[in-house]
Structure 1
Amino acid sequence: MYNKKQEHLQRIKKGGTDAINYADGGVCIMAKAKKDIKKVVLAYSGGLDTSIIIPWLKENYNNCEVIAVSADVGQGTELDGLEEKAVKTGASKLIVLDLKKTFVEDYIFPTVQAGAVYENRYLLGTSFARPIIGKELARIALEEGADAICHGATGKGNDQVRFELAIKAYAPDMAIIAPWREWTIKSRDEEIDYAEAHNIPLKINRETNYSKDKNLWHLSHEGLDLEDPANEPQYEKEGFLELGVSPIQAPDKPTYVTIHFEKGIPTAIDGKEMGAVELVEKLNELGGANGIGLADLVENRLVGMKSRGVYETPGGTILYHAHDVLETITLDKETARTKQYLSIKFADIVYNGQWYTPLREALTAFVNETQKTVTGDVKLKLYKGNIINAGVTSPYTLYDEEVATFDAEDVYNQKDAEGFINLFGLPIHVKAVLDQKRNNK
């Protein structure tokens, strides 16, 4: 068996394509040979990684055809000029997919409804963008008759897992190329060297070379001075923040906003009905102007290491807060507590790229059931990075002022509390009595 495994390793290096069955019952599907890769679908953002991947693929995969695919999940001007750039660097064409509406309605809002927050702070902005992109990459690769799908995620990060699990769900037999797991490039500086040597235009330089991910929901910043948790983020530095301002630079006057929810889905702002994309964009505008939604955190990546990032999620932070407030009056205690517990698992599932799994679907079904009464209005005051509750109403409220009041009322008999306490405290009482008897002996 040892010799056969050695043979297997040699054939992988040469690009073998078949499966080997070992005597111990194991099966290893070998990587597709480079010579057999004729057409590749590339997840293309036009950023540093994917900018150099096109010529790298041409050089290392026998001048294969590269079809670049850009998913518009709200990057805005980052998509400008991508077609010309992709074709000039060797792609046969660029396919741009407008996924914003689906992204918000089918991925963001269900996660907000679940109250899913990774490690108490991270609102999953990159995490739930990857499954929808991976799904579309698989669809296009199958339609185009591609031999492989390529992505620019690093071997240290979470995105490689998220992309590839989505691809496995929709194109399980598709070969996957991950250059960061193949090439000899070791750093972003070396990537820039490669780009300069191949005359590839970049929108960044070595001094502002933060690793960023932007979509309709958030913007993340990693790398450079942020790699040391001892360094304070330069929020007030011009050009660092893109979705808003530092709380210090926010207006001295608060901004009020009222958000309406229907079954846990936000549908209107200040009485104006809005589509999902427009609503998130409006909250980003309001939140950003008031310094809302900045998170500086060290998180635990799926691959085992810790990483430090700064996230801007102005509209998302407002939505999570408003949704939580509405649930305080529309969910009973046990449902709310159970949902809170399951939200941690939901966040882990999203973070780990397991969107297309039976467990995620089952948890979403539970969440949907809890959201049947989460309808109403939440009024908030935004002020210098703070979100202050300013009122909440719902036709399904479980809050009864007549029961809760400190004033005179005839609804609640306070004498009933005595019997409740006696029963609720019975285990404590029994233990204390028995302990006394034992101690007296």
Structure 2
Amino acid sequence: MSGGLSSLAVASWLHGNGYRVEGFLLDIGQCDRKEFEAFAASVRAAGIPLHSVDARRAMAAAALDVVGFQASYDGGYWNTTGLSRSVIVETVVPRLREAGCTVLAHGCVGGGNDQRRFERYTEHFAPDLTVFAPWRSPEIQQIMPDRASMARHVAAAGLVCMPGNSAEHSIDSNIAGASHEDAGLEDLSTTALRVERLMGVAPDHAPDRVETVVVGVEHGRPATLDGQRLAPEDLLGAANTVAGRNGLGLIDVVEHRVNGTKCRGVYEAPGMELLSHAVRAAHETVTERNASDTARFLSRQLAVSVYEGAAHGLTARAARAGLAEIADRAGATVRLDLYKGGVVGRALLRIDPGAGVVQQRRFSHGGHNWDSAPLSVTASGVPA
């Protein structure tokens, strides 16, 4: 359970119809702790046994991996929803076994990406468990054929979804990002400007000044923010804060789905977007051309694997291995200038020694006399 409408409706229906239900509520940063605890208390008050599991660090670490590998999906968006399914199943399986459960039930609607993701990740992490997909059940389909009927069932049971989820609107969020869905957004003539952001402000509401942030990249991964070495969840949380208040991170795409169709997606991931600019600067500076071409191909393969619920399959493992080999030398300290929804400037303050990159330059030698020397920067951040 995550606080959304469909999983709450399924848990409530199963509990009310005599099934032995154990609820597992994973904190992946989908809301603040106060809202999380209030939701947990309401479920317990309804008589459903509930286990709270803190998976924020695992979710953040997975997101930073994807940023380090530059594995964005169609249109360049960070697929935080698909990534969270892997984290959820891997985290919850040991708890299911401790509770003596033999079935993993989820609330994902029929025919969607997430139904397949949960099935594939359960097959990977716990092939001995049965997956119950509720909207394959004729009985549940008849009782709750749409979101409006789900909402009525939840309300009749005295339950309330987490903020933002209703019959009219669906939010899937975690510490790395949020997705927005509703009937209006399914209409491709509708602009995403109508979306009320969860993780920041729209560019026209961002400050009327440039804000600067410094990101340290080590072995191809974001590691520090403004000189501070932070735990994954704190690093991503701090990046979300600074990027969100400057209007970064919302993207509107039409994506290829697992079942071969297309759909519109509106996603927020301000922290990942911010950190990716620093990672990209480090890679551009130290990675030679053939390796860069290979990395772009592998990044796409990894992104597709995550989207399709195969983040631990052979293709994803091979892509990660190759990307880790290429990214290992990518280290730099990068200053980013943020303004009204964009990264408007960047400067490399430090490049890891031993990168072996040669820079060709001419203006410091009269404008027409070219010189080649190992790339480096001075203490002021100006190329040496």
Per-residue CA distance 1:18-51 (angstroms, 9 max, x = gap): xxxxxxxxxxxxxxxxxxxxxxxxxx12321122
CA pair 66-207 structure 1, distance change in 2 beyond 3 A: closer
1:199 matched to 2:155? The reply is no
| SS at structure 1 position matched to 2:254 | strand
Q: How does 1:323-342 map to 2 (within 5 A)?
A: 323-342=279-298
Q: Is the CA contact 2:207–2:340 (under 8 Å) kept in the aligned structure 1?
A: yes
Per-residue CA distance 1:35-77 (angstroms, 9 max, x = gap): xxxxxxxxx12321122212311355xx121111111111233
- Matching residue's letter, 1:212: I
1:79 matched to 2:36? The reply is yes
- What is the rounded CA distance, in whole Å, between the counterparts of 1:304 and 1:133 in structure 2? 25
- Matching residue's letter, 2:267: Y
- What is the rounded CA distance, in whole Å, between the counterparts of 2:166 and 2:29 in structure 1? 26
Among residues 22, 33, 55, which one is paired with 1:67 in the alignment? 22
| SS at structure 2 position matched to 1:71 | strand
- Matching residue's letter, 1:199: G
Matched with 1:348 is 304
- What is the rounded CA distance, in whole Å, between the counterparts of 1:374 and 1:204 in structure 2? 40
Q: Is the CA contact 2:208–2:340 (under 8 Å) kept in the aligned structure 1?
A: yes
Q: Is the CA contact 1:118–1:344 (under 8 Å) kept in the aligned structure 2?
A: yes
1:95 matched to 2:51? The reply is yes
CA pair 180-276 structure 1, distance change in 2 beyond 3 A: same
Among residues 186, 191, 210, which one is paired with 2:169 in the alignment? 210
- What is the rounded CA distance, in whole Å, between the counterparts of 2:276 and 2:211 in structure 1? 18
Q: Is the CA contact 2:247–2:341 (under 8 Å) kept in the aligned structure 1?
A: yes
- What is the rounded CA distance, in whole Å, between the counterparts of 2:172 and 2:9 in structure 1? 17
- Quote how far apart the aligned CAs of 1:133 are: 0.6
- Matching residue's letter, 1:380: L
Matched with 1:56 is 13
Among residues 197, 212, 222, which one is paired with 1:241 in the alignment? 197
Matched with 1:108 is 63
- What is the rounded CA distance, in whole Å, between the counterparts of 2:123 and 2:223 in structure 1? 34
- What is the rounded CA distance, in whole Å, between the counterparts of 1:359 and 1:98 in structure 2? 29
Matched with 2:234 is 278
- Matching residue's letter, 1:102: A
- Matching residue's letter, 1:283: A
CA pair 411-87 structure 1, distance change in 2 beyond 3 A: closer
Q: Is the CA contact 1:329–1:398 (under 8 Å) kept in the aligned structure 2?
A: no
Alignment gaps of 5+ in structure 2: 373-384
- What is the rounded CA distance, in whole Å, between the counterparts of 1:316 and 1:196 in structure 2? 36
- Quote how far apart the aligned CAs of 1:289 are: 0.7
| SS at structure 1 position matched to 2:216 | strand
1:147 matched to 2:106? The reply is no
- Quote how far apart the aligned CAs of 1:125 are: 0.8
- Matching residue's letter, 2:66: T
CA pair 310-206 structure 1, distance change in 2 beyond 3 A: closer
Among residues 166, 190, 194, which one is paired with 2:149 in the alignment? 190
| SS at structure 2 position matched to 1:128 | helix
1:164 matched to 2:123? The reply is no
- What is the rounded CA distance, in whole Å, between the counterparts of 1:303 and 1:116 in structure 2? 21
CA pair 202-349 structure 1, distance change in 2 beyond 3 A: closer
- Quote how far apart the aligned CAs of 1:196 are: 3.1
- Quote how far apart the aligned CAs of 1:206 are: 9.2
Q: How does 1:392-431 map to 2 (within 5 A)?
A: 392=348, 393-396=350-353, 397=355, 399-401=357-359, 403-406=360-363, 407-408=365-366, 409=369, 411=371
- What is the rounded CA distance, in whole Å, between the counterparts of 1:122 and 1:310 in structure 2? 9
- Matching residue's letter, 1:80: E
CA pair 410-189 structure 1, distance change in 2 beyond 3 A: closer
- What is the rounded CA distance, in whole Å, between the counterparts of 1:288 and 1:410 in structure 2? 43
- Quote how far apart the aligned CAs of 1:148 are: 0.9
Among residues 319, 325, 328, which one is paired with 1:363 in the alignment? 319
CA pair 272-160 structure 1, distance change in 2 beyond 3 A: same
Larger Cα-atom Rg: 1
- Quote how far apart the aligned CAs of 1:400 are: 3.7
| SS at structure 1 position matched to 2:81 | coil
Q: Is the CA contact 1:134–1:164 (under 8 Å) kept in the aligned structure 2?
A: no
Among residues 61, 81, 87, which one is paired with 1:126 in the alignment? 81
- Matching residue's letter, 2:6: D
Q: Is the CA contact 1:55–1:90 (under 8 Å) kept in the aligned structure 2?
A: no
Q: Is the CA contact 1:301–1:307 (under 8 Å) kept in the aligned structure 2?
A: yes
- What is the rounded CA distance, in whole Å, between the counterparts of 1:234 and 1:389 in structure 2? 25
| SS at structure 1 position matched to 2:51 | strand
1:287 matched to 2:243? The reply is yes
Alignment gaps of 5+ in structure 1: 1-43, 413-441
| SS at structure 1 position matched to 2:22 | strand
User: Which of 1 and 2 has higher RCO (CA within 8 Å, sep 6+)?
Assistant: 2
- What is the rounded CA distance, in whole Å, between the counterparts of 2:269 and 2:290 in structure 1? 30
- What is the rounded CA distance, in whole Å, between the counterparts of 2:231 and 2:166 in structure 1? 39
Count how many residue pairs are aligned between Structure 1 and Structure 2. Answer: 361
Per-residue CA distance 1:132-157 (angstroms, 9 max, x = gap): 11123322222222121100011132
Identity of aligned residues (%): 29
- What is the rounded CA distance, in whole Å, between the counterparts of 2:289 and 2:51 in structure 1? 48
- Quote how far apart the aligned CAs of 1:273 are: 2.2
- Quote how far apart the aligned CAs of 1:228 are: 0.6
Q: How does 1:34-53 map to 2 (within 5 A)?
A: 44-53=1-10
1:379 matched to 2:338? The reply is no
Q: Is the CA contact 2:26–2:55 (under 8 Å) kept in the aligned structure 1?
A: yes
